[in-house]
Structure formats: structure tokens, C-alpha cells
Structure 1
Amino acid sequence: MSLTDLWDRFTAIQPPPASGLILATAVASLAAVLIPAVWRLARNLITITHEGGHALVAVLTGRQLRGIRLHSDTSGLTLARGKPRGLGMILTLSAGYLMPSLLGLAAAAVLATGRVTLLLWTALILLFLVLLVIRNWFGLLSVTVTGAVVFAVSYYAAEQTQAAITYVAVWFLLIGGVKPVLELRGRRRRGGTGSDPDQLARITGVPAGLWIAVFTLANLACLAYGGYLLVQDRVM
């Protein structure tokens, strides 16, 4: 297969899935977020994206990335060297809770063009980049398994199956990106003070509650517009 043929395959436009499939994938993703047993497992995808967001912005703002750790309790940690204050630190801390929703919105925009295979292979590239900076065994396992699933779907699955799984994943990023921010409120009421909004409050003087409100509104906006992109001209 030539490079031209390969590129044509990756950028091929698939016909839009049936409206029933789009709604079914939205319901499945919502269930994955609301059912505790499923959420505990599926949340690893949100954690990978969260820590990847920290890492990406850290590099873009000139910080020295030391690595990412992912833990079995779905928590994570991104280590980077640089000034403990300033715009770079603020952007790096802000990126974590925003990245799943922003990535979901970008993915929804790609899906709206029908380029399912291109989206899957873009996800593979991003996972590979995250894998390069993972610094613990569970993180390696989590990212490798996720990448293997994405590769299997992109290479072996039929078009309809690709579309179904991709829509589930994008809906999950959009819906699942909201829940961790909402959970922050309960965690802070129980005395937690080490979250990203708490660190932002310490370096900016802006209350953590206001940061949480900003993240919540931004992620809800991504969900609303991303959802619109996924259903436009199909369900509406």
C-alpha cells in the first residue's frame, strides 16, 4: 500500500451513522459516568487525558517535563520543573480539568466531518506521546491497553463498529469531563486542599471555588456544543 493509499484510507469520509446509534452511544456514555462500578474503570481514560493536558501545556509554556504517573485509584500526577508561579504555572494547572472536555469537543468536530479513522489514528499518536513520558508500571499498563484497544478498533473493526465505539468515546470525554469537576466540591468539603483549584488559589489569590465554577461552566459549554456537533443534521 502506497503512502497515498494509506493517507486516503485514514482521511476517508464515512457516511454518518443512524440517529438511533448516536443517541444510543450518548446513553451508553452517560451510563458509564453514572454507574459507579463502570465509572471507576472508565475514569482511567479521563485521568490519562487530564494528566496529558498538564504535560502538554507544561511543555508548551517552557517547563521541563519530568514525567506522568497514573495510579490504580484513577488518580494521577504530572511532574514538571519550572517557576512555581506565573502564567505558565497557571495554564499548566488549569489544563488538567479542562483537557478531557476540550479534547472531546475537538474530536466531536472531527466526527462531524465523518473522518472516523483519522480520529482513531490521531488518538493513537496522542497515546503514544503520553506513553513516552509515563514513569510507573500501572501507567504503562493503562496507556498500553488503551492504545491496543484503539488500534484494534481502527485496524480490524468494520466501519459501523468503528463509528459506534468512537462515538461512545467522544461522548464519554464530553460527559465524563464534567463529573470530576463536580466531585471537587465534595472533596473540598471533606477537607481536601491539594487539588488543582486549591493550588491555583494559592498562586493567584482567586478562590478555589471560583476556579471550580469556571471549569464547570467551560466543560458544560464543551458538552453542549460538542453534543450539538455530534447530533446536528442527524437527530435534530
Structure 2
Amino acid sequence: MKTIIYQDHDQILSGMTMKDCSEPECYNMALHACTSAEQVIGNRKLLASFLQSTPVDFVFANQTHSANFHRVTELDRGKGMLEQVSAIADTDALYTFETNIVLCSMTADCVPVIFHTDNVIGVIHSGWQGTVKEITPKLLRHLQEVESCDLSHMHVQIGAALSQEKFEVDDDVYKRFHTLGYAEEFIRYNEETNKYHIDNQLTVKRQCELAGIPATNITIDRTCTFQSPDGFSYREDKQSGRHVSFIKRKA
């Protein structure tokens, strides 16, 4: 099993699973995009064992490219882990103040955002639609204004995603990014193809910085999920599996 560990210390364990065809379903973690749900559940249980957690500790959302987020409590333990129907509905970001809950975000080219501060952890699924809907700054603003989180102490890991080279879009998507007002430096126009190439990872990083997170507290995994043999890429293969980005706060 291939799993990148981004952080592992006394309080925080976070990382991202990668494609591994020595495992069933190539270590796919998605119940909504698989050949065998039984094998995906087996992969998830393997990850749980690796993280020294149990399946009931995991929480998944039914991601819809929304700007919706959800505060996870003890009552949410196990949701979406063994069956898709129990996943938290219509939600693309999760956060919690609880310990030993594993928050999960599934991606296959979209940008996964993993964060933690003094007493809160979270994950965000920011595909291009989530980025232009500003799911990350909306959640960060909520954490600051409603949950009284100090964003200057927050640490962010941006996980593996589609690279700018491979994120090729037409004018309609370009205009959505342009309208943000701060993404233009992360967009390149190819005159030969009349396409735009957008760096979604750096756009999300800028969103974090504008929200008040110090640039020195933000790390990016520049692995391209299209180009890397360890990547699941929806753009390359519409039947692609999914990575899981995860974080838990240890008790």
C-alpha cells in the first residue's frame, strides 16, 4: 500500500493514499467509483489498521463540488466508511475539534487541503468548481469568526493534484478564475491551442494566504495526479479511482 505521510507527531497524523496496483482496485478508496465495493472497503480497513484506527473512527462526505462544510462531532463517527448512503450529504469540507476521528477527502485531480491549528483539524475538497466558489476561504472565515480559531497559527498541507500543465481549460472556466481577482498570475494562455492552463494548487494557496494563514505555514505536494504513475486522474480516465487525504488528532 502506498500512503504519503505529511505529518506524524504527538498530536497530528495526516497524509494521502496513492495508487498502488499491487493492492485490490489499485488501492482505490471510492465507493462511488469502483468495480468492487467489497475491495474498496477492504482498502479502507487496511488504511485504518495502518493509521492505528478503527473503521468507526473514519468520516467521509458525499462530495458534490459545493462550497458546503460540516462540523464533525462524535455522532458522525463511521459515516460513509462502509456504505456510501451514510456519508455526510452534499458536503466538500469537514472539520472537527474531536480527537481520534479520521477526516477524509477523496480526490482524483482536485486539490485536497489538509489543515490543523491549536484545537481544530479539517479537510477540504477543492476542485476547480470549489476553488471558484471559494470553499476554502469560506470555511476559514467561518473558523475564525464562529469557532474563534487563530488562523495565524494554522498549518496547511495542499496535497497531490492535477498540475498546471495538465489542467487545460476553455474560456468559460478561465473567466471564473479571472473573476476571483487574485488568480491571474497562476494562469497561462497557450496561443497554439487557444487553451488556458491554471494552477489550482497555487490559487488555493493564495486563498489561504489572503484568509490570514502565513505562507510559511503552507506546504504543497507538487505530485501531478495525471503524470505520476501513483496518481488517480479523472481527466485521464473517467473510470478512475480516488485518493483519500486524511487527518486525525491523536488523543
Looking at secondary structure, tell me which structure has more helix per residue: 1
Greater percentage in strand: 2
What is the TM-score of this pair, normalised by structure 2? 0.26
TM-score (norm 1): 0.28
Between structure 1 and structure 2, the one with the greater Rg is 1
Structure with higher RCO (Cα < 8 A, 6+ apart) = 1
